[in-house]
Amino acid sequence: MLFDSCPLDSGVEFFQFFPFFKEAYRLLKDDGIFTYFSDEVRGISKKHREKLTQAGFQNINFKICKVHPPKSCEYWKYDTIISPIVKKYSQ
């Protein structure tokens, strides 16, 4: 399952993925993989891990991906981004 948040109003914070973690856990089939657009460059922060764990996830990994955003990109200025690999264990 891939989740990429997008604000609908200009006054809304861009990265609103935390509220979706519980819903992702609920919707994901056993042994399914959840990934999302993360605002982290080189690893999953303690805050992200806590929110994922609170949602029910236990297997939380990531891959660092090289990217080349254009200079005009308004939301990403770095040469790497992480790709979260979050697995739901079978019950």
Q: In what helix (H) or strand (E) does residue 35 lie, and over which residues does it extend?
A: strand 33-36
**Residue 6: CB partners within 8 Å, gap ≥ 6?**
none
CA dist 58 and 90 (Å) reads 11
The model's pLDDT over 24-46, given as tens digits with 9 standing for 90+, comes to 999 999 999 999 988 889 999 99
Average pLDDT over residues 66-78: 90
What's the pLDDT at 91?
66
CA distance 78 to 41: 7
| pLDDT at site 83 | 94
Which residues lie closer than 8 Å to 20 by C-beta, 6 or more apart?
3, 5, 36
- Structurally, the chain folds into a number of domains equal to 1
Name the pTM for this structure. Answer: 0.82
Digit-coded pLDDT (tens) for 11-28? 655 557 788 899 999 999
Q: Domain range for residue 59?
A: 2-87
pLDDT of 58 > 90? The answer is yes
- C-alpha Rg value of the chain to the nearest Å: 14
CATH number (domain holding residue 83) = 3.40.50.150
